[in-house]
Amino acid sequence: MGYVIRIRPKPAKPLAIVLAPVASFALAFFVGGLLMVWAGVDPISGYTAFVSGSLTTFPGFMQTLVQATLFMLMATGIAISNRAGVLNVGAEGQYIVGAILATYVAVELQQTLHPALVVVLAMLLAAVGGALWAAIPGVLRGYMNVNEVVTTVILNWLAYRILQWIIRGPLRLPGPQLYPMSPPVTATLPILEPSSGLNAGLVIAVALAVFSYFLLFNTEVGFKIRVTGSNPDLARYAGFGVERVIVLSMGYSGALAGIAGGVEVLGNLHYLFEGISIGLGYTSIIVSLVARDHPLGVIAASIMFGTIYSGSSFLQTATHLTYTFSKALEGLIYLFVLVTTLFAFYEIKLVKVS
């Protein structure tokens, strides 16, 4: 005899959809304000910098969109795999693989081919690499019933170790540097707004989110994904090929994470280094949760999380707080967003089991 916590989605009330993120921000800002007072900083000036640096000024909002682009790509993919009943915790690793392959193609071909062709080839290989990296846990889950959370976490670690080896070996820029990095990438995505570096990655992310919406709700494949996630036994009875659906959804999710890696290298950084892995894939899981695994909802949720990410950096600069403090505040917001989303959109019960 024992107890388990059972979490199930419940119908969302329109008011809850609006109030959940508002409540999470209010709670996080209140607790963060107390921490700032404790640290000897005026919370009003701190939050003024947070908002102006991420929303109310043009450069700040552009920087928010730069960050939202990566969240949008990875969270859209995670939403698709979640709809199939598969939890892709491996977006971080798939993102790294995409970044590595995009860098390799760009560095090897940018001196011989037209830049536009190099960008297309690099982004395609990034997508394929991310898809194949995600297909491994998809196959293990679909055909062997191996828990995908375990395999994706292991593959995240492996992808990071490969990144370290690549940067210190085959792709290392010759000569002394402060830290290992690749040669510069000169074949880059088109820039939309020069001062912030906002690039065509945003267009790609929005287009893929819209495409994913139509794929999920207006195609036979999307119908199979949704049925497999909600009732796998019914999907098997209907002959949907649950195993193939799981692998397909994981591959699609990985492809979008790989594209995010390509966008980071070809659009934002223009080189590859170890610091490219900063946990964006894990944060994207929360983004998808807030969006309730809806591709169009991911667009709005990504902008919200982009605001948090860029705003915390401006808060740190304006108040001279430490990097760890600003990241702690950022983490508080994520925590409250997660908690309020769970209580607003999910039914949580303690169930007795024998």
Nearest to 287 by CA among 273, 308, 268: 308
Do 278 and 62 form a contact (C-beta atoms < 8 A)? no
Residues paired with 349 in a beta bridge: 6
Residue-range domain boundaries for the chain: 42-320
Q: Taking the model in full, what pTM does it have?
A: 0.92
CATH 1.10.3470 fits domain 42-320: yes
Please give the C-alpha separations between residue 232 and each of 147, 229, 284, 310, in angstroms, as whole numbers.
Answer: 16, 6, 25, 40
List, in sequence order, every residue forming a beta bridge with 273; answer none if it has no partner.
181
Tens-digit pLDDT profile for the chain (354 aa)? 566 666 677 776 777 777 777 787 788 888 888 888 888 888 888 888 888 888 888 988 999 999 999 999 999 999 999 999 999 999 999 999 999 999 999 999 999 999 999 999 999 999 999 999 999 999 999 999 999 999 999 999 999 999 999 999 999 998 888 889 999 999 999 999 998 899 999 999 999 999 999 999 999 999 999 999 999 999 999 999 999 999 999 999 999 999 999 999 999 999 999 999 889 999 999 899 888 899 999 999 999 889 988 888 888 888 887 778 777 877 887 788 778 877 777 777 777 766
